[in-house]
Structure 1
């Protein structure tokens, strides 16, 4: 339907503009819109969300790269370990969690703590130490692999979880945001490809909604660039509180739907 294409474009544009400054692709908030408003079936909604990340990601990444924010090895390490995780998560999503009821519970279980975490860390931020460093190689590998699996199941690439966790260790958002977006983009490419292959072995709606995913991604491409460009001029505290409150509200909504 034509209205769903334009609605997807507008949703991708708006969400990415708000979320890109804090290193979140926006897929975490686009997914409920696809399920409840645009009518994408489960589990096809997950690869459609990954397709959004693939198309939308370069907008913010290009802007961050122009500013030199992608220098350093953090992005490469995150990509190396989230990549196998997202492929495993795709297989789990298709063969173990296909039902919409279970999926709503999963959405609620993810969004509620994520929202509370963002709000708590914003209202009571951890004191950043001058010597604060990223996790050790082993801890970072385990963290990125786990988040990759969750991201593959949920269709978000994993950056929405990695960002708050790394920020809690005292790392600056200016370093975290480009790295988590790079990891989200790369793992989303792998995840979307994995779902396309799994669609050949599954009778259900596993393949992405290509036209809708591309429309949402086109909006996200523009919005991500705008958000990354606006990052130095936006109050980070207000953005974090907005994201946390939105995540918690969406999680509560899906919890109520799953229990009704």
Structure 2
């Protein structure tokens, strides 16, 4: 690998994780456009490469929650019951139904636009609802997030977090469960893409060099972001990331329209 590309991959993972960790959003959501348009990882290999970033970058954050025992709680099990089959479905759909850039950019915009709007309008310290969401609905959410994660290249935590908090669960309960779900689902996604690469022509498997380097940067960046969290203006940073997500979504939709 070109040393400049290696340095850029590591630096991208580091910077994205530092900026997104204080807001509670997975860096994978914003890293994928970097891999696609800057690092030039081909499609659909960019998706498992982004999942590989999750696999490498999240263990440090998982260790922070290990002592609480919440990583293996009932919420995590219910989410995994949905996300694991969902990521397999999303992976197969990505390879066989949306392998090209045009359709994928539309799908990416469909993820980035609502996430960006949520970040811009989210209220802090929102009181939980009196009747939180039921277990079947949690699994259904996990299934939907797993499908999107398999297509887009995220573990699903960035989608599940806002949904579950908005449905009445506390942030303290949701954060470790969403993080554990992201890690396990990303491992399953990388494995599924690896198996499909054995029987499918084209760049289907992950770019291991880019994924590992981005993940190493994300591992360090996530730690730094967590340490910096008390010192950064969370609201301003959240709105900035939200505006960036909306802007990326608009750019992707325009490019997809021109490509058509």
Query: Within the alignment, does 1:224 sit opposite 2:225 as a pair?
Result: no
1:171 to 2:169 alignment: yes
Q: Following the alignment from structure 1 to structure 2, what is the Cα–Cα distance between the partners of residues 235 and 171?
A: 25
- CA offset at residue 249 of structure 1? 1.4
**Offset of residue 254 of structure 1:** 1.1
Which residue is 2:102 aligned to?
Answer: 101
Q: What's the counterpart of residue 148 of structure 2?
A: 150
Match of 1:16 in 2: 17
**What's 2:121 paired with?**
120
Rounded to whole Å, the distance in 1 between the matches of 2:172 and 2:229 is 9
Q: Look up the match of 1:186.
A: 184
Residue from 213, 216, 219 that aligns with 1:215: 213
Contact 2:57/2:216, CA 8 A, preserved across alignment: yes
Inter-partner Cα distance in structure 1 for 2:240 and 2:77: 29
Distance change in 2, residues 1:101/1:129 (3 Å): closer
Aligned to 1:45: 46
Contact 1:20 1:60 in 2 (8 A): no
C-alpha separation in 1, matches of 2:32 and 2:46:
7
Alpha-carbon RMSD: 2.1
Question: Residues 126 and 174 (structure 1 numbering): CA distance in 2 closer, same or farther, change over 3 Å?
Answer: closer
State whether residues 129 and 170 of structure 1, in contact with CA within 8 Å, keep that contact through their aligned partners in structure 2.
Answer: yes
* Number of residue equivalences: 257
Q: Deviations over 1:78-135 (max 9, x none)?
A: 223211111111011001111111111111122112211222223xx695246353x2
8 Å Cα contact 2:53-2:211 kept in structure 1: yes
| CA 1:69–1:142: 2 relative to 1, 3 Å | closer
Q: Which runs of 5+ in 1 are unaligned?
A: none
Name the SS of the counterpart of 1:178 in structure 2.
helix
TM-score of the two chains, using structure 1 as the length reference: 0.90
Equivalence for 1:131:
130
Q: Are the equivalent residues in 2 in contact too, given 1:24–1:177 (CA < 8 A)?
A: no
Runs of 4+ in structure 1 off by over 6 angstroms are none
Q: 1:130 to 1:95 in 2, by over 3 A?
A: closer
Q: State whether residues 62 and 225 of structure 1, in contact with CA within 8 Å, keep that contact through their aligned partners in structure 2.
A: no
Q: Is the 8 A contact 2:155 2:183 kept in 1?
A: yes
Task: Give the gaps of 5 or more residues in structure 2.
Answer: none
Cα distance, 1:16 vs structure 2: 1.2
Q: TM-score, normalised by structure 2?
A: 0.90
